[in-house]
């Protein structure tokens, strides 16, 4: 299994499943996010699992502790491999999420989003956060570690710092762009090979694959790039 997680950001289940049918569950995991889950619900998760995929349910829960605990319990009952919350929900929310997940029959990996990869320093400033992205990621990653989470979502640009300071935390990194691909709405980006070199454990990649005329060829190129990076 490679560190690749393909983001199935589609507006309906048939489109997502058609792309999944062009992927190899031995080669990648898949991510179901807000648009697909809102349209297709738990059935699409079950369909992907029936095809052999481990599913990261990326709903980024962020609410009061009791509400997030209930949502995490429901997600864990779907048998997903990984799920997430926003670290900025605070200590009590993170603890409630961790406790809810830990009592499930097969606890998924619970990770916390630090600073969205679509944000840069100016965006943080505008919402009243006067820290640089790397500093805020570090703060929220430390809180995630203290509250017993398995990992964090961060950009690969921060992965090296987190690997040094909080080595037990998994680093799940969106904002990955192979050379030559558009950055789209992402701001803190790295290539697959550079992300692995920085210490990313999992790479989340969507549009470079899902919008490609030949998604299988892009996946093969990314897997080859990652393999080359890991032997360097
Ligand atoms: O900080 C974050 C957290 C989550 N995401 C999600 O990852 C994918 C990235 O898709 P691309 O098409 O490769 O940009 C997408 O589903 C986001 O919701 C993120 O990008 N950044």
Q: What is the pLDDT of residue 230?
A: 73
DSSP string, the chain: --SEEEE---SSHHHHHHHHTTS-TTT-EEEE-HHHHHHHTHHHHHHHHHTT--EEEEEEE-S-HHHHHHHHHHHHHTT-SEEEEEGGG-HHHHHHHHHHHHTSSSPPEEEEE-S-TT--HHHHHHTT--S-HHHHHHHHHHHHHHTT-SEEE--HHHHHHHHHH-TTSEEEE--B--TTS--TT--S-B-HHHHHHHT-SEEEE-HHHHTSSSHHHHHHHHHHHHHHHHH-
**Closest Cα to residue 228, out of 186, 191, 177?**
191
- Whose C-alpha lies nearest to ligand 1, atom 3? 116
Q: Is 12 a catalytic residue?
A: no
Q: Is 132 a catalytic residue?
A: no
Q: What is the pLDDT of residue 65?
A: 99
How far does residue 153's CA lie from ligand 1's centre (Å)? 10
Q: What is the mean pLDDT of each run of 10 residues along the chain (232 residues)?
A: 96 98 96 98 98 98 98 98 98 98 96 98 98 98 98 98 98 97 98 96 98 95 87 64
The set of protein residues with a Cβ atom below 6 angstroms from ligand 1 is: 7, 9, 33, 113, 116-117, 153, 174-175, 184, 186, 204-207
Mutate to test the pocket of ligand 1, among 62, 172, 200, 204 (most ligand atoms within 8 A of CB): 204
Q: Is the pTM of this model over 0.95?
A: yes
Consult the annotation and say whether 206 binds a ligand. Answer: yes
Q: What is the pLDDT of residue 196?
A: 97
| Residue 208 dihedral angles phi and psi, to the nearest 5° | -55, -30
Q: Please, what are the domains in the chain?
A: 4-230 (3.20.20.70)
| Interface confidence: ipTM more than 0.95 | yes
Handedness of CA 134, 126, 115, 204 (dihedral sign): negative
Consult the annotation and say whether 27 binds a ligand. Answer: no
Taking the CA of residue 155 as reference, the ligand 1 atom at the shortest distance is: 1
Q: Is 201 a catalytic residue?
A: no
What's the rounded Cα separation, in Å, for the pair 220 and 231?
17
Find the radius of gyration of the CA atoms of the chain: 17
Structure tokens at 43: 């059935």
How far does residue 206's CA lie from ligand 1's centre (Å)? 7
Q: What is the pLDDT of residue 228?
A: 82
What's the rounded Cα separation, in Å, for the pair 192 and 202?
10
Q: What is the pLDDT of residue 60?
A: 98
Q: What is the pLDDT of residue 232?
A: 63
Q: Which residue has the tokens 């697959």?
A: 192
Q: What is the pLDDT of residue 55?
A: 98
Q: What is the pLDDT of residue 231?
A: 64
């Amino acid at each position: 299994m490679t560190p690749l997680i393909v983001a199935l950001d589609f507006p309906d289940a048939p489109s997502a499943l058609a792309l999944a049918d062009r992927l190899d569950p031995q080669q990648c995991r898949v991510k179901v996010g807000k648009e697909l889950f809102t349209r297709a619900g738990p059935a699409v998760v079950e369909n992907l699992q029936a095809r052999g995929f481990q599913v990261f349910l990326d709903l980024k829960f962020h609410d009061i502790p009791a509400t997030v605990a209930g949502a995490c319990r429901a997600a864990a009952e779907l048998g997903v491999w990984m799920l997430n919350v926003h670290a900025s929900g605070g200590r009590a929310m993170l603890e409630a999420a961790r406790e809810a997940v830990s009592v499930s029959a097969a606890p998924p990996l619970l990770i916390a989003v630090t600073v969205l990869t679509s944000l840069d320093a100016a965006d943080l400033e505008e919402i009243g956060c006067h820290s640089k992205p790397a500093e805020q990621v570090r703060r929220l990653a430390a809180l995630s570690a203290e509250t017993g989470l398995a990992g964090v979502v961060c950009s690969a640009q921060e992965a090296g710092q987190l690997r040094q300071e909080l080595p037990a935390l998994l680093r799940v990194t969106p904002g990955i762009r192979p050379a030559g691909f558009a950055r789209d709405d992402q701001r803190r980006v790295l290539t697959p090979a550079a992300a692995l070199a920085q210490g990313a454990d999992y790479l989340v990649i969507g549009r470079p694959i899902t919008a490609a005329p030949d998604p299988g060829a892009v996946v093969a190129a990314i897997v080859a790039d990652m393999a080359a990076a890991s032997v360097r």
